[in-house]
Structure 1
């Protein structure tokens, strides 16, 4: 549903629901509802309003707002690692979120293992990892991607579901041992 059609559907639904509650005699969002003389008409108008609200794309936002009021978001911290990643390798960590909200990803430590590393040392990127954070329904283009060194942090607001944190070690880098801290809604 397009945003304008969804907004219109939501507006009509809200108008009908409010009019049913107050018994009509209301003009809201350009819609005039006359006084409702019988209870069955109020119930029918309220039901139609509720159906329009729930069928609009706005319902998921309303549902999340109600959930946040009734049961405030709790932030938890997960420690990912220590883990080791060979040169040119990727590792994916799933993070389960039952609520929407901000996800903070911090690279707590990254230690290169130079023992046995024969490549050139001191090249750009050898002191960090390439990190991609994708929400449960993100297309690849919507994922946040960033090269991170020790103590770097970034945030992204994500919907509920399984978030994935992908860590890539560049091919010209030594093997890396790292630890991430991830703060997210419980």
Structure 2
């Protein structure tokens, strides 16, 4: 089922999400709905707070980024071919490498894109959809998508990483989003 995406201004986007247990109700259906919602909305990642759930789950499909790159572009990200994975109860163990810029957007903040600096590498401890424990290191664009989604389960947004002056210049656009004055091709949920 395609779920509505929570828009900027909704308080759940500023909530630190909680870990869940393996018996979380209808977890498999929730994960399936998250994938369907993400693909329908043309996203490469989606976190539970974006569908109005305060739990530590996000899905990432960075493979599609690489599938849509020009052949030469792929060489800019050695060792990163993309992933399609579910992250549950994720917690960062380490961040490594230099911060580098990339133009990010967010389904919850439509029609706004900004350069965001993030580390080259992240190591996460998490469980997958079968609740098997994992510790894995990700680099390049995949690390960036993971860090963007990880921010969502920590109550942060990509605009928190841009300079205050730039954020101030975006204020009217952000206000329009929170008031529902933006048109997108997917369902949105606004703060009441």
TM-score with structure 1 length normalisation? Answer: 0.21
Instruction: Report which of the two has the higher share of strand.
Output: 1
TM-score with structure 2 length normalisation? Answer: 0.21
